[in-house]
Structure 1
């Protein structure tokens, strides 16, 4: 069982949702993949002033029509991260668009950086999609810094952990280490889509279940593609036993002076 996943690295037009949705449609056509993943807040741009202003509303989907047309044309499933106005709260949300279906607000970012906490509400649950028979878990940027987030996804049966992110200068080492570690920890593929431009450093990448980079970008716009193979996950977990050998509980801790 295989799935072609494309992670897009691009610079959005800050504050111009229509232009960014049109760009997402063009990237989806270019990617030619079964699953296409976009960076964090791609529809609005990652910008504090924009986040506090008018945002797309969760119950309105007309603004997504250009991307919906690309999805129907290509047959791709798209994970598009957006700042959303949910009425009683604001969230950084993975919208999922699939052929023949209404757009779905599938996952809200669960771990928020301090500046985000002043605007957004964290999500309350994880989400795993099945695309082409492959279980794919969703995450957004800072989520991947927490090993238990990816572990919960793997426990739920995910073979792939996808992440929509946005990293500032100085975050290169942490970015690369976290995503490779989540792959090796759990014997899963990790596919990371990053913002570039406007002060963001890109680094879009895909990692195999041993944490080795399959492909990666610098700061340039482009697409990273991973051919995900469920058989490789199975073989990796049979050889690298961490996933099978982990204990469901470590019991109580004993601390002594």
Structure 2
């Protein structure tokens, strides 16, 4: 496939799991090859520091099953975030599930112990193995929210062939946060010459500003902080041209 049609769903998840599952059907658009929902879409985090373990589900549970049903019905691949039981019953994984034309599971590596939060008190970190999946002939690497601040994960995914990075997020609002988000999304795209699809939850609690950025750092689509769906087309020719123009991956010496 020479191009990939993508849609990023910037919509808030609530505290009722069943209602969030219904949103998958309501919000997944037709006509996209890849649809990306935000982090923790199966059930919001709740108040800071809340125990989310009662809402953890297996990756073949109700949320992932509905995600697969919707993806199959739309003829697409869908990515969305959920909580999954880990070996520690009090600290589940923060997990991305990919269903539809491709299937994968990614457990968030870097937990948000920053800006006054302690995600590791309530969640378990996933294994450090990068996770990639093929979608329509493009190699897609999976990251979640705070992972964006760690360039070594993005580079590890690219070293394994990633051409697109998908970053579902619930990027908490606050001073400098939108600026950090936009800067980091564009940096990961530019330094790795990849497309980046960064899908966030909307304001007022989160920062919104879902982004699609191309391998030279041009913003192909951007939301504001309201609930919305943004779309873009990723062209392989754009990727190839960027890597010829800026062969930074080939020029590395370290």
| CA deviation after TM superposition for structure 1 residue 77, in Å | 0.8
1:155 counterpart residue number: 159
Give distance in 1, aligned partners of 2:25 and 2:236: 28
Query: 2:50 touches 2:122 (CA, 8 Å); kept in 1?
Result: no
2:122 is paired with a residue of what secondary structure?
coil
1:244 alignment partner in structure 2: 250
Pairing of 1:13-92 with structure 2 (within 5 A): 13=14, 15-28=15-28, 30=29, 32-47=31-46, 48=48, 51-58=51-58, 60-88=60-88, 89-92=91-94
Map of 1:105-124 to 2, 5 A cutoff? 106-114=105-113, 115-124=118-127
Report matched runs for 1:104-253 at 5 Å.
104=104, 106-114=105-113, 115-124=118-127, 125-167=129-171, 168-170=173-175, 171-197=177-203, 199-247=205-253, 249=254
Structure 2: gaps of 5 or more residues: none
Matches of 1:157 and 1:90 in 2, distance apart? Answer: 29
Cα offset, 1:39, TM superposition: 0.7
TM-score, scaled to structure 1: 0.88
- Partner Cα separation in structure 2 for residue 237 and residue 65 of structure 1: 38
Tell me which residue corresponds to 1:252.
none
CA positional deviation for 1:56: 3.1
> What do residues 83-137 of structure 1 show as CA deviations (whole Å, max 9, x unaligned)?
22235351110011115x8x65x11111111211111111112111101111010
Q: Say whether the 8 Å CA contact 1:137–1:161 is kept in structure 2.
A: yes
CA distance in 1, matches of 2:233, 2:52: 38
| Counterpart residue number, 1:9 | 10
Aligned-CA RMSD value: 1.8
Q: For 2:56 and 2:193, how far apart are their aligned partners in 1?
A: 36
Deviation at 1:63, TM superposition (A): 4.1
Q: Secondary structure at the match of 2:250?
A: helix
Ranges in structure 1 where 5+ consecutive residues have no aligned partner: 250-257
TM-score using structure 2 length: 0.89
Larger radius of gyration: 1
Aligned length: 243
Cα pair 2:95 2:107 within 8 Å, conserved: yes
For 2:33 and 2:135, the matched residues in 1 are separated by: 8
Distance 1:224 1:91, change over 3 A: same
